Amino acid sequence: MTERMTLTAPPRFHRNGVSGEGFFALGFTWKPAGTRRAQPMLAIAFYADPDEDGARPRTSRIAVLNPADPRETYRGDDFEAQIRQWIEDACATGAAYREEV
């Protein structure tokens, strides 16, 4: 499945409130087999606090949806390996924590 995925918005770390659970949000396109057009996708991956755990996943909770129609959701585990790799790469370079200018 990963060969049909392209990162379009790099992972960024967010916190739900002051002391809420941390999560990464990222955008990608996915071209389902047998289709001509790639569709935009949004992934939310819930992780432990990267300051405490080095951005290691606390659980395998990854939600994937079509941002044009949020009712259209997908199994996160179908995309999990590539999403985790993108997050790990962004954490390693520090890009996941940079503020947009």
Q: 15 to each of 10, 44, 90, 98, how far by Cα in Å?
A: 16, 12, 17, 14
User: What radius of gyration do the chain's Cα atoms show?
Assistant: 14
pLDDT confidence band for 101 (50 / 70 / 90):
very low
Query: What pLDDT score was predicted for residue 11?
Result: 93
Query: What pLDDT score was predicted for residue 30?
Result: 93
Task: Dump pLDDT digits (tens) for 6-55.
Answer: 999 999 988 777 667 778 999 999 998 888 889 999 999 887 655 555 55
pTM (whole model) above 0.75? yes
> pLDDT at residue 84 above 80?
yes
Task: Dump pLDDT digits (tens) for 67-79.
Answer: 988 888 888 878 9
Query: What pLDDT score was predicted for residue 88?
Result: 87
DSSP 4-25: GEEEEEEEEEEESSSS--EEEE
